[in-house]
Amino acid sequence: MANPERFLLAGVMGWPVMHSRSPKLHNYWFEKYGLAGSYVPLAVKPEGLRTALRALPSLCFSGCNLTIPHKQAAMAIVDENDLIARKIGAISCVVVRPDGSLLGSNNDCYGFIHNIVQEFPDWRADTGPAVVIGAGGGARAVVYALAERGAREIRLINRTFAHAQRIVEEFGGPITVVPWQERHISLAGAAMLVNATSQGMVGNPPLDLNLAKLPQNALVADIIYIPRETALLAAARAHGNRTISGLGMLLHQGRPAWKAWFGVEPEVTPELHALLAATIPQSWQA
């Protein structure tokens, strides 16, 4: 349990970062669990990442989350990366240990899976091919999570073929890279589609993907949570598919972070989900 005599500090580092709803999430938990502390946005440019991370112990931070574009670069800055982070090749969370050293971990895979399972308890990763769009830190976490849950076929698609191929070489397993120009037809027979890019986020163009070949019983997920319904999810819903946004992923990935930082394992409740959803534009058209 966290020291009640110390003001607790954590935050999220990114560039940009002010769009993040992580401060609202974590400060809700501070209030709910009666802990004196604060979680703050830390706008850190890529060239300042090393200085910012190494300053965490001196500033008495318990740790921080990492978002775009820092998840891979931070691995070379922290003192140690845990096994899951090393396998994924990206970190989403930094823990300041009692001796001041920095431990990198990745909770995105945890958040991704627990978001789906909470919304769709009957979901299974091994019911058919999964199509994942993207090859960045988020995509790496999604691919790792699906493989760990027993996915038998993962079709990985990225504009830059070599970036996706690198994931195949590092991960092994049931992953096949599909060329970008074949992305539309690659949806045939898929049981799941995941957008793990920033395409569709507020300020970015929608993901260029035609869903005509996607079976109507496929689950469509987006790791984006601003807006609550991206253009992809809106198109999938109109197509007859079940959909799930990235908001629950954000909420659930915070749970193991809190356990590591403060010794408390918080709950993701309908009240919390509704509280954060109310702060986010509903539609990509908003």
As a whole-number percent, the residues of the chain with pLDDT over 70 amount to 97
Active-site residue (options: 45, 71, 213, 259): 71
What whole-number distance in Å separates Cα of residue 6 and Cα of residue 61? Answer: 11
C-beta pairs of 18-24 under 8 Å, 24+ apart in sequence? 18/43, 19/202, 19/226, 20/67, 21/225, 21/226, 21/247, 21/250, 21/276, 21/279, 21/280, 22/65, 22/67, 22/250, 22/254, 24/275, 24/276, 24/279
Q: Which of 64, 69, 80, 76 lies closest to 26 in space, CA to CA? A: 64
Q: What share of the chain is helix, strand, coil (3-state, %, to 5)?
A: 35, 20, 45
* 87 in catalytic set: no
Domains 8-106+250-277 and 109-247 share a fold: yes
Cis peptide before 227 (omega within 30 of 0): yes
Q: Which of 204, 156, 150, 203 lies closest to 177 in space, CA to CA? A: 156
For 163-179, the pLDDT digits (tens) are 999 999 999 999 999 99
CB neighbour list of residue 7: distance below 8 Å, 6 or more residues apart: 36, 37, 38, 60
For 1-50, the pLDDT digits (tens) are 555 578 999 999 999 998 899 999 999 999 999 999 999 999 999 999 99
Q: Give the pLDDT of residue 286.
A: 44
- Residue 258: pLDDT band with limits 50, 70, 90: very high
Fold of 109-247: Rossmann fold (3.40.50)
User: Which sequence spans correspond to the domains of the chain?
Assistant: 8-106+250-277, 109-247
CATH class for the domain made up of 8-106+250-277: alpha beta
For 197-251, the pLDDT digits (tens) are 999 998 889 999 999 999 999 999 999 999 999 999 999 999 999 999 999 999 9
- Residue 285: pLDDT band with limits 50, 70, 90: low
